[in-house]
Structure 1
Amino acid sequence: MSTDYSSTTQGGWSQTLKRVVVTIFSGLGWLDYFFACVLLGAAIFAEIKFSAYMDGYEQAILFAAVPVLSVLAWGWSPIRNLMIGAAGLALLAIYFYQTPDGGSLARAEQAFFLKYMLSSQSAILWMSVLFCLSTLFYTLAFALRAQALGPTASKLSWAAVLIGVTGMLVRWYESYLLGADIGHIPISNLYEVFILFSLITALFHLYYEARYQSLVLGAFVLWIIVAAVGFILWYSIARGAHQIQPLVPALQSWWMKIHVPANFIGYGTFALAAMVAIAYLLKQKNILADRLPSLELLDDVMYKAIAVGFAFFTIATILGALWAADAWGGYWSWDPKETWALIVWLNYAAWLHMRLMKGLRGVVAAWWALVGLLVTTFAFLGVNMFLSGLHSYGTL
């Protein structure tokens, strides 16, 4: 009996795994496989050329990115186009940075395309302009019922993401032009992570826009990105935050490469859910209701955004604890940033629990998601402004 049960269980797992594999690989064309091979080739090239600058963990992250990015590209082809476009523009920028003696950061003020388009600072400025234009077109399309403006708004948002990702890649390269000991992935301070937040939020919005075939959501979601863009511009002008600085010792770790992106997938999707909640509340109050999608659609987007964000925020919190143990000798120290991260986690854990166990929906769920944005904003920014602790390197 035991043997039969074991073999049956093994057969069940085998069939389940087979179905998962078939689901992933069914419908893939030669371009999908070719793209995966290109990613693998790029990883091998990076390993050969830059292995001296990477430890074993960073090399593992490099090669783990290949299947992750491949599956993302297979599941949503616009991501593949984005990766190809951003990589092409970044390589063009690197080409313009070259001199007979090697790369020079001074070329950013000498080469026309770098100065006005492809240097990291120029690219981020273009990203900011395009996001603002996209928001304007989304809002006009919603306010004036001008459906023809919607596709233009979406294209502008995609263009902003493309040039923004390019700017981040070029900034990464520029940090190494300052010195091999200075070079680092550009997610180390508030300026850089606000850019990351804008890009992640926009990408999730564009995904849900395509999935639900609704151009209305942009009239709400893009405003939180405009707020982030406003902070980026202010932080650049008032504090010179666009200048690349060496990493503080606590951030000189491979943990940063996985903890921070996971964290900001959470922040971005929580923000998106809150902006969708505003649309839900307007619809429920019968304000502009004829211009908004159905309550069921808005509720579904809100739920899925929070579910995805919670999953990644949970991963980020675990990674943060492991990083803290590595850097400071303890998994948890009740540092203000850690405490507020826990508050954010508990807030959305309770939201999902009430949704799944008690069927929470409607106005209460929407208001809760909106209040969650305030909690998340304080954890993201308020702690840096008003509190101090082990994470003081992120202060304003």
Structure 2
Amino acid sequence: MIGVKIVINFNNLNNNIGNCIFVLLLLSTVSYWSSIAFQKLKFLANLGKITTAFSNVGIILILGSRWIYNGYFPLSNLYESLMFLSWGLTSIHLLLEQKINNRIIGGIISPISMFINCFTSISLPIDMQQASPLVPALKSNWLMMHVSIMMISYATLITGSLLAILFLILAKGEDIKLVKNSNNIDFNSNNLKYNKDKNQNILKENSNSITISHRLQGQLTLLESIDNLSYRTIGLGFPMLTVGIIAGAVWANEAWGTYWSWDPKETWALITWLVFASYLHTRITKGWQGKKPAIVASIGFIVVWICYLGVNFLGKGLHSYGWLS
């Protein structure tokens, strides 16, 4: 009876912390969106950052307590992996916002973290939130290395893709190309050419020169920053995805006797790798910037979610254990 009572109290504690995290992320989302709508209220962005930090700590408490209580790294089922993904997103959010102090970052990442936590803590059935004994294939040190690296790579790639989607939204669907050349930026959109140098900004349209407004100059700088940040973030997530896939192949050979079996999860992991490899290829070798690579990254956003959740909802393949069936 004492053991049952401890289990019940532990599950209730996890559930209460999860509900608090959802409230914090909801408050963070509202704060960031309000700070964007009312830019003079700068304290709202700080409130969003604080609530995100507290939610990050709350996720650490949940995962850490499950690790100690169950005796294995908490990445054995859908609940734990979603929590880990939410932790990865909030961590990357805080790091990016520390690097570039822009409230838009929180405005696009906080809602995703909130929806993930909402599904995890509220929508996911109670029996799927509880830890269960590991199947033989999961009783390996590869569980920590492979799954954790994959989840962090997913969080990083999702963030980079969200920034690319944000670029497309702010560009309003126009074909915008940002080309850097010795502190000059050529901005081509609807036969308009914007040239920006250190001292002046000139708009040339039909040989008529017009001084660019400060608002347009700020928009160009913002678009350039988002495009560059998206590229850097995806450039960080792609090597981690590569390492995670290789580690998974080694683990698969140890557990099932083959490095690659074209399991649905493996196939979609390869598709995800190819999509983001194509993105980086166009950026590095083709010199693409702006709309075209942003479209590729946006496709990657969908592919990552299919690879992570879509395959698990099918309940088929070697990777369906511990998830959904």
- What range describes the TM-score normalised by the shorter chain of this pair? 0.7 to 0.9
> 128, 137, 140: which is aligned to 2:31?
137
> Residue 230 of structure 2 corresponds to which residue in structure 1?
302
> Residue 269 of structure 2 corresponds to which residue in structure 1?
341
More strand by share: 2
More relative contact order, 1 or 2 (CA 8 Å, 6+ apart) = 2
Task: State the Cα distance separating 1:109 from its structure 2 match.
Answer: 5.9
Where 1:361 maps in the other structure, the secondary structure is coil
For 2:63 and 2:148, how far apart are their aligned partners in 1? Answer: 13
Runs of 5+ unmatched residues, structure 1: 1-102, 176-182
Moved more, 222-231 or 324-333: 222-231
Matched, 1:244 2:131: yes
Identity, % of aligned pairs?
33
Amino acid in structure 1 at the alignment position of 2:161: A
Moved more, 281-290 or 380-389: 281-290
CA contact (8 A) 1:105 1:174 kept: no
Where 1:391 maps in the other structure, the secondary structure is helix
Amino acid in structure 2 at the alignment position of 1:392: S
> Residue 155 of structure 1 corresponds to which residue in structure 2?
50
Task: State the Cα distance separating 1:104 from its structure 2 match.
Answer: 5.8
- Going from structure 1 to structure 2, the CA distance change for 1:220 and 1:253 (only over 3 Å counts) comes to same
- Going from structure 1 to structure 2, the CA distance change for 1:108 and 1:334 (only over 3 Å counts) comes to closer
Task: State the Cα distance separating 1:395 from its structure 2 match.
Answer: 2.1
For 1:136 and 1:254, how far apart are their aligned partners in 2? Answer: 40
Matched, 1:174 2:61: no
- Going from structure 1 to structure 2, the CA distance change for 1:318 and 1:109 (only over 3 Å counts) comes to closer
CA contact (8 A) 1:150 1:215 kept: yes
> Residue 320 of structure 1 corresponds to which residue in structure 2?
248
Task: State the Cα distance separating 1:293 from its structure 2 match.
Answer: 6.8
CA contact (8 A) 1:235 1:241 kept: no
For 1:285 and 1:383, how far apart are their aligned partners in 2? Answer: 33
Task: State the Cα distance separating 1:274 from its structure 2 match.
Answer: 2.0
For 1:144 and 1:310, how far apart are their aligned partners in 2? Answer: 36
For 2:224 and 2:253, how far apart are their aligned partners in 1? Answer: 43
Equivalent residue runs for 1:207-218 within 5 Å: 207-218=95-106
- Going from structure 1 to structure 2, the CA distance change for 1:188 and 1:362 (only over 3 Å counts) comes to same
- Going from structure 1 to structure 2, the CA distance change for 1:105 and 1:361 (only over 3 Å counts) comes to farther
Task: State the Cα distance separating 1:242 from its structure 2 match.
Answer: 1.8
Where 2:103 maps in the other structure, the secondary structure is coil
> Residue 156 of structure 2 corresponds to which residue in structure 1?
269
Q: CA RMSD in A?
A: 2.4
> Residue 120 of structure 1 corresponds to which residue in structure 2?
14
CA contact (8 A) 2:18 2:117 kept: no
CA contact (8 A) 1:255 1:319 kept: yes
Q: How many residues align?
A: 281
CA contact (8 A) 2:161 2:234 kept: no
CA contact (8 A) 1:135 1:153 kept: yes
More helix by share: 1
CA contact (8 A) 1:310 1:348 kept: yes
Task: State the Cα distance separating 1:115 from its structure 2 match.
Answer: 8.5
> Residue 106 of structure 1 corresponds to which residue in structure 2?
5
For 1:139 and 1:240, how far apart are their aligned partners in 2? Answer: 35
> Residue 212 of structure 2 corresponds to which residue in structure 1?
none
CA contact (8 A) 1:336 1:387 kept: no
TM-score scaled to structure 2, two decimals? 0.80
For 1:331 and 1:364, how far apart are their aligned partners in 2? Answer: 35
Task: State the Cα distance separating 1:332 from its structure 2 match.
Answer: 0.5
> Residue 187 of structure 1 corresponds to which residue in structure 2?
75
For 1:286 and 1:342, how far apart are their aligned partners in 2? Answer: 29
Amino acid in structure 1 at the alignment position of 2:49: S
CA deviation vs aligned residue, 1:156-205 (integer Å, no higher than 9, x gap): 00000011101110111222xxxxxxx32111111110000011011111
CA contact (8 A) 1:200 1:265 kept: yes
Runs of 5+ unmatched residues, structure 2: 175-214
> Residue 54 of structure 1 corresponds to which residue in structure 2?
none
CA contact (8 A) 1:214 1:293 kept: no
Where 1:240 maps in the other structure, the secondary structure is helix
Amino acid in structure 1 at the alignment position of 2:314: F
CA deviation vs aligned residue, 1:119-149 (integer Å, no higher than 9, x gap): 3332222222211211111111112223220
- Going from structure 1 to structure 2, the CA distance change for 1:186 and 1:292 (only over 3 Å counts) comes to farther
TM-score scaled to structure 1, two decimals? 0.66
- Going from structure 1 to structure 2, the CA distance change for 1:239 and 1:292 (only over 3 Å counts) comes to farther
> Residue 90 of structure 1 corresponds to which residue in structure 2?
none
For 2:141 and 2:104, how far apart are their aligned partners in 1? Answer: 39
Amino acid in structure 2 at the alignment position of 1:296: E
